[in-house]
Amino acid sequence: MRARDDFNLFHLTWPIFLEIFLFSLMGLVDTFMLSAVSDNAVSGVGTANTYIHISILILEVVGNGAAIVVAQYLGSRRYIEATKISALAISLNLAFGLVMSVLFVWNANRLMEVMNLQGDVLYYAQSYLAIVGGGIFLQALINALAAIIRVHGLTKQTMYISLAMNVVHIGLNYVLIFGKFGAPELGVQGAAISSVVSRALAVIVFFWLLTKALHVKIMWKNYITWNGEFVRKILNIGLPSAGEQVLYQCCQLIFLYYVTYLGSEALAARQYANNISMFTYLTALAVGMGTSIIVGRLIGAGRSDEAYARVWKSLRISFSIGLVVVLVTILFREPLMRVFTDDPEIIRLGSMAILCGILLETGRIVNITIINSLRASGDAGFPLRAGFFSMLCMSVPLGYYFVFVLDWGLIGVWLAISADEWVRAILSSLRWRSLKWQRYALVEQKDGE
């Protein structure tokens, strides 16, 4: 089994779509099963997961950076260097993951107390964060392994692993949350243990798949050999890429802090609406990731004109499909909310937030497609600069104004995030059209290429 050198967007994208769908389903299943425990359990886990998501994005510094560097080296057919970069990325991410696991175990209580949580919500959040955060080093390995395997073209195989991981996770959730088959009834702690065990099993399979994906086999010494040039290239892409995403999640954390002042119903409604809304942009995520693999290879091969045209074609596809999904979600917003809760106030608030998705999700679709391609070209710094202006300088103050001055509540949060998405969508589109990203290629062309 070896990765192919020529790629078709559909063949790359449909397994990525299913993989992301399954990953999203993992969080949805947690929310659905924990809603049977209580709405407070959902609120606590949702708040704790905000920290988990930020940590995963930090761990993508190496994974995303390595994927883009490897893609460009593969495009130029420099397979030995691609293998060495892959091994180095795995070791670096494991080291970062172990450090973060220790920090979560030691500081779970403090991290949750600063979020203005109280009572059962605080207890559930602390216990979940200590367990899942303690096993975050497993996700660090998954990030690096999956990213490297995907750029080698084996997107279908990574999807199969995600499917298996979800089956294990759902099964263990049922057993450990509700105490089935003689197991103790652990509730939130059971969901956390299930997440850690399923990730551990996935890591084992990912390592096996890595040996099948690479053109050149990894030697053990490659895992411990330091190469400053490779590390520099990985971090030049990974740091601004992850920085932009961490900035986004930190802003979401601030918005979550705003919502805690709106009451427990708003907090639960936010979590349910987010879980439903995430399915509206899955196609854009898949198309964006598939396009970035193609763009990285094309630029590595010196075919920038083809990369430019590919992005606009991909954007038309993802926007068309995403808009249809958004409209369907809006149409069935109240029945979807009733899947999770019977509380009429939570249903009302969540439904209103989903209705705002026509603004938020359409802007997000543009961002996902173009920003992924900017990173793949090597121009990872621009999305970070645009995000700093749009998210931190504009969206966060705007959200405060909407929520606390105009008293728009949860809708104010959604509108502030929508404004950010559209500002960045316009800026990133102009950047891609300007062709300035062409100067950031990571691999020099050999003579005659």
Q: What is the dihedral of CA 330, 332, 337, 343, to 10 degrees?
A: 110
Per-position DSSP letters for 136-160, written without gaps between them: HHHHHHHHHHHHHHHHTT-HHHHHH
Contact 384, 247 (CB under 8 A): yes
> At how many degrees (to 10) do helices 136-151 and 39-75 cross?
40
Over residues 359-418, the pLDDT tens digits come to: 999 999 999 999 989 988 889 899 999 999 999 999 999 999 999 999 999 999 999 999
pLDDT at 26: 67
Of the candidate ranges 3-12, 312-321, 328-337, the one whose mean pLDDT is the lowest: 3-12
21 versus 175: which is more confidently predicted? Answer: 175
Residue 127 lies in a domain: yes
Over residues 200-222, the pLDDT tens digits come to: 999 999 999 998 888 788 887 87
Residue 433 lies in a domain: yes
Residue 444 lies in a domain: no
Over residues 254-271, the pLDDT tens digits come to: 998 899 899 888 988 998
Residue 69 lies in a domain: yes
End-to-end CA distance of the chain: 27
Residue 229 lies in a domain: yes
Please count the structural domains in the chain. 1
160 versus 246: which is more confidently predicted? Answer: 160
DSSP state of 402: I
Query: Quick one: which H or E segment has residue 336?
Result: helix 333-338
DSSP state of 83: H
CA angle (45 as vertex; 188, 128 as ends), nearest 5: 55
Residue ranges making up the domain that contains 277: 9-438
Judged on CB neighbours under 10 Å (0-12, 13-18, 19+), 47 is buried
